[in-house]
Structure formats: structure tokens, C-alpha cells
Amino acid sequence: MIKYVIKRILLLIPVFLGVTFVIFAIVRLNPADPVVAILGINITDEQYAAKAAELGLDQPFFVQYLLYIKNIVFNFDLGVSYSTGRQVSTMIAERFGTTLQLGLMGIALALVLGIPFGIISATRQYSLVDRVVTFGSLVFASMPAFFSALVMMLLFSLKLRWLPASFDQSFLGWIMPVVAVGMSPVAGITRMTRSSMLDVIRQDYVRTARAKGLSEKVIIFKHELKNAVIPVLTVVGMQIGSIMAGSVVVESIFSVPGMGSMISQAITDQDYNLVQGSVLFIALFICAINLVVDIVYAFIDPRIKAQYKGGGKKKNRHQEKEKGKVS
């Protein structure tokens, strides 16, 4: 098991390098000039050259990239924001808590609704309930977060006046942002739970449990759901990435003071360092979540345990055979 965890951690190294290079390259390919954005258009060539040298933008592309990686790895330094002059890491730390809270509530909503809907749909296959749940999950999966946010704002804030249009720390202020980011994950988890449950329901051990006279509740939760939840766990890790990506627009719509609204403002301000630092942080956070999911997957999936235990036994048997030949 330790070998499996170490292998997964080592796989993060090329992912880190790939993510940083892609983000760095995309930001640098932007035709907007951060020096002009900071100083304005009425500047001399000497002023432009001095500011570019100060920001390190006078260096070749790969030199800039290597210096950026060096600062991240050895100094944990994401640079300084061009627009505010503050450390990017400090600005991220101030905003990430709100975004994390929004994401956790969104994924909690998806789990609370998605798993029960998937179970009900699978256990009543081809019924009216199954068709309604399947159709609803298809609609919600096709609905982007910004569209859901705008529809809810129009309906519940402007028309009915039940909920505040802009975010505040009250319970009512969280409802629409959480539902907006959690709606698509609800659909994804519902569909995966239904699919996994249908695969498990047809297994022989489920028929055996039913033949023994066990109650349907025990069969569903002890035998079917226990094995069907393993693929769902993978989807949960993927949906966290979807929620973090959707929060950029949702936070801007509802004026949530999180990383999403900060990234949106940084793009408007042409703030290279803040954009790439924030996007890189979110990407690495998603990688860390997927690593945790993989580790949890290894503990709850007996096939992975058997694979690594079996590998160890085969290796020991091979060593014993070699010793026998030598003797």
C-alpha cells in the first residue's frame, strides 16, 4: 500500500511541471502588455524598459519560466501582484477560505442529493421515477453554472424577492451560490450512482442475499451501495475540479469575495502574476484532491490491495526459487 501511495505522489511531479508550463505559456501568449497596463500608454521607451526589467519580462521565455519554477519550489513564492504590489500567496490565502467553503457546501449538496436519487432511480429502473430522475440529471448536467446563477437571480431575487441578489454571510446569502455550483455535480453523481448500482444489482451475491431473505434495505445499503460507491468516489474528485472552475463565474455574478472573483478582476487588470499564481494554486489543489481520492480508493477497493499484496508474494516466491537454484 505504501508503494501505491509513493507511486501516486511521484506522478504529481510531471503533472506539476506540465500544469505550470501550460499556465505560464497561456498567460504569456496574451497580447495584452502588463507594463502598459501598469504605467499607461503615455510612457517613454526608457520607462518601459526599466519596468520590464523590474518585472523580469525582458528575459527570454524559458528563462522566465525556470526562474518562476525556482521561486515556487525553493521559496514558495508565487510572485508579486502587478496591480496591488502585494504577494500573490497572501492574496490567495485571504480569498481561498471563502472559495473552499463554497466548494465544500456545493459537493456536500451534490452527495446528499445525488446518491439518494441514483439509488432510487436504479432500484426502480424504467419506472416513472427513474425517467424523471434521468431526464432531470441530463438537464442539470447540460446547464452551465453561470446560466443557473443568472436564472436563480432573476427568479428568486428580482421576481420573488426571496433571496438577496448579492452575497452576504447570512444563510440566505449562501443558498444561490451553493446551488449554482452544486447543480451540475448533483447530476453527475446521480448518473454515476445509478449506473454503478445497476451493475451491482445484477451480481450473483446480491441474488444470494435476496434468496436468504434479507430485507431490501439491508441488501441496498450493505451489499449494493457498499460496492457501487467506489466508482462514485472517482466522480466526486472530478466534480470538485468542476466546482472550482465554475466558482470563477459564480463568484463574479453573486459578488462572492473568493478566488473566482479575484481571478476575474486580475484578468481585467492584466495582472500576469496574480492570474497564473491563482490558476496554478487551484490546479495543484485539484491534483491534491485527486491524490487523496486515489489513496482512499486504495483503502476501500480490495482489488488494489490484492494487486499490491499479490505482487509482494510473487516477488518473495521468486526470490525463494532463485535461492533454491543457487543452493
The predicted structure's pLDDT at residue 310: 55
The predicted structure's pLDDT at residue 308: 64
CB 93 within 8 A of CB 81: no
CA 203 to chain centre: 32
Residues 6+ apart with CB under 8 A from 314: none
Cα dist from 143 to 114, 137, 139, 151, 163, whole Å: 16, 10, 6, 11, 21
Domains of the chain are 2-31+78-309 (1.10.3720.10)
Assess whether pLDDT exceeds 70 at residue 317: no
**pLDDT, tens digit (0-9, with 9 covering 90-100), for 73-111:** 888 888 888 888 889 999 999 999 999 899 899 999 999
Grid look-up 466534480 returns: 239
- C-alpha–C-alpha distance, residues 241 and 283, integer Å: 8
Mean pLDDT of the chain: 84
The predicted structure's pLDDT at residue 327: 43
State what percent of residues in the chain have pLDDT above 70.
91
Grid look-up 505504501 returns: 2
**pLDDT, tens digit (0-9, with 9 covering 90-100), for 264-277:** 888 888 888 888 89
- C-alpha–C-alpha distance, residues 252 and 244, integer Å: 13
Assess whether pLDDT exceeds 60 at residue 316: no
The predicted structure's pLDDT at residue 225: 84
The predicted structure's pLDDT at residue 326: 43
CB 209 within 8 A of CB 130: no
The predicted structure's pLDDT at residue 305: 65
State what percent of residues in the chain have pLDDT above 90.
24
**pLDDT, tens digit (0-9, with 9 covering 90-100), for 212-253:** 888 888 888 888 888 888 888 888 888 887 787 778 888 888
pTM of the entire structure?
0.80
**φ, ψ of residue 112 in degrees (nearest 5):** -65, -35
